[in-house]
Amino acid sequence: MEPVHPEFVPDADLDRDEMEALQCDIADAAVFEDDFEFDPERVCADRETGQRALVETDSSSDGGPVVVGVDQAFLDDDRAVSALVALQDGEVIERAHAVAPTEIPYIPGLLSFREGGAILAGFRELSVEPDLAFFDGSGRIHFREAGLATHVGVTLDLPSIGVAKNLLCGRPVASTDGLSEGERVGIEANEDVTAADGTVIGHAVQSRQYDSPNRYINPLIVSPGHRVGAETAGDLVLACSAGYKLPEPTRLADQYADDLKGEIAD
């Protein structure tokens, strides 16, 4: 698929100020509430739950929503590999990838300008029309409410969700320690975020947890990218989780990215 908003395509040649200004425009264009056509109840992690959903909804003629997981790996020479894995009813239906140079270094808050090019190139290679995308990083949980998931989601006008392993900014409304599987804690805007103080911009989501041992798994940091509300974003991530910390689309994209890195290793 191609960008719907060419003016938002990340340009690594911009000044820092210009990048930040573009992010503000993107945040204005972003929709942080549910605004999609697919049935969220039909988004699933694996074939088993997928088949169950098919039976329960009795809508087996058409396929469920197509969810694509996106991740990147880096080559030793300033090039990034984007890996996309598309799933439908819990099964992989397509994989796509692209390689692109990383023009700038990693700068907290400007991640999309480093990895966005490779990601959009990857989407260009994807032939199926996705209903939803999971990105590795933040969406609305960002200084200017325009993290990687929001930037790419708005540019493609594709419903998207940011799935990060660490918190970039904002403040948890309660302790995020000791959460049980399936639980979540809101992340609200503070002085570091452009949103009004107290606005819930995402959640710490416990997608997986050990039963009781003295071992512990940290929660995922989930936030709306585009056309998905904070609560629904958490619901969808949990719906796509299948016994691993990362939701299936993201986990498989991670794997695919690693494979590609090894194969392309010129």
Task: Report residue 104 CA to chain centroid gap.
Answer: 21
The distance of closest approach from Cβ of residue 88 to DNA in the complex, given in angstroms and rounded to an integer, is 25
Q: Identify which of residues 142 and 203 has a Cβ nearer to DNA in the complex.
A: 142
Q: Rounded to an integer, what distance in angstroms lies between the CA atom of residue 214 and that of residue 182?
A: 19
Q: Identify which of residues 15 and 211 has a Cβ nearer to DNA in the complex.
A: 211
Q: Which residues bind DNA (CB under 7 A)?
A: 71-74, 106, 108-112, 136-138, 142, 147-149, 162, 164-169, 210-211, 213-215, 257-258, 261
The distance of closest approach from Cβ of residue 227 to DNA in the complex, given in angstroms and rounded to an integer, is 17
The candidate with the shortest Cα–Cα distance to 192, out of 143, 147, 137, 145, is: 143
Q: Identify which of residues 42 and 140 has a Cβ nearer to DNA in the complex.
A: 140
Q: Identify which of residues 90 and 162 has a Cβ nearer to DNA in the complex.
A: 162
Secondary structure class of 133 (helix, strand, coil): strand
The distance of closest approach from Cβ of residue 138 to DNA in the complex, given in angstroms and rounded to an integer, is 3
Tokens 């992010």 found at: 23
Q: Rounded to an integer, what distance in angstroms lies between the CA atom of residue 262 and that of residue 107?
A: 26
In contact, 142 and 109? CB cutoff 8 Å: yes
Q: What distances in angstroms separate CA 25 from CA 7, 140, 196, one per listed residue?
A: 10, 13, 17
Q: Identify which of residues 95 and 171 has a Cβ nearer to DNA in the complex.
A: 171
Helix axis angle for 16-29 and 148-156, nearest 10°, is 60
The distance of closest approach from Cβ of residue 113 to DNA in the complex, given in angstroms and rounded to an integer, is 8
259 assigned binding-site residue: no
The distance of closest approach from Cβ of residue 153 to DNA in the complex, given in angstroms and rounded to an integer, is 12
Q: What distances in angstroms separate CA 112 from CA 120, 150, 216, 259, one per listed residue?
A: 10, 9, 30, 23
Annotated binding site for Mg(2+): 71, 136
Annotated binding site: 71, 136
